[in-house]
Amino acid sequence: MAPNMSLFSVNAILILSTDDTSRILTKYYSPPHVPHHPQGTTYPGANPYPSLKDQKAFEKGLLDKTAKQTSDVILYDNRVVVFKMESDVMLYVVGSAEENEIMLYNVILALRDALNILLKNSVDKRTIIENYDLVSLCIDELVDDGIILETDPVVIASRVSRPPAQDAPNMQGIDLSEEGLLKIYQFGKQKFQERLRQGL
């Protein structure tokens, strides 16, 4: 067993604009119980960019470095960084240098695919800003405090949904028997599959 093994795998999830190198949505994680090593070094999962200035410098350097890259995985600032480009935005998942890059790569794929489902294949700066709530909830369903919760994009997208519209059907008089609930479940499953087919 590795000495630094931990559930806290993700240091940051970043969505940055490639047009003007601005940040669209960034989440930096630090384990709530960061132990201090006797040698003076901090735990490898700790957030190495506590201040906004440090974060912006890291993000700018990261955009510059990945703009010319052909691979999806790099080592930058002693961190494993996996990334995907979608239209005019870059999606990043950052982990410590000791982290398993395949696991981080699964996180970036889940993020990209879940966003494509939620935003109907238009993952760009404008759509992300207009649907900021959905994107933020999507990231929260994927990673919590640096712990990977789910990597199935369909499951993530199904958990992140909009509230019912004002013209939603009246919920009075619904049959709550076992048979009635089964019918509701089948109807919901059918509608979800239709929406997925339309989105893909």
d(CA 35, CA 20): 38
Question: Residue 186: its pLDDT value, please?
Answer: 81
Between 195 and 91, the higher pLDDT residue: 91
Overall pTM > 0.85? no
Q: How confident is the model at residue 162 (pLDDT cuts 50, 70, 90)?
A: low
31-65 per-position pLDDT tens digit: 665 554 444 445 555 567 878 888 889 989 888 88
Q: Does 3 score more than 70 pLDDT? A: no
75-114 per-position pLDDT tens digit: 888 889 999 988 889 999 998 888 888 999 999 999 999 9
| Phi then psi dihedrals of residue 126, to 5 deg | -65, -45
Region of 172 please: left (phi>0), alpha (psi -120 to 50) or beta.
beta
Q: Does 165 score more than 60 pLDDT? A: no
Kindly list the distances between the CA atom of residue 9 and the CA atoms of 41, 43, 78, 140, 152, in Å, as whole numbers in the listed order: 18, 12, 15, 14, 17
Question: Residue 136: its pLDDT value, please?
Answer: 92
Q: Which residue ranges make up each domain of the chain?
A: 10-159, 173-200
112-151 per-position pLDDT tens digit: 999 998 888 888 899 999 999 999 999 999 998 888 999 8
Q: Does 157 score more than 60 pLDDT? A: yes
User: Which CATH fold would you assign to the domain 10-159?
Assistant: Beta-Lactamase (3.30.450)
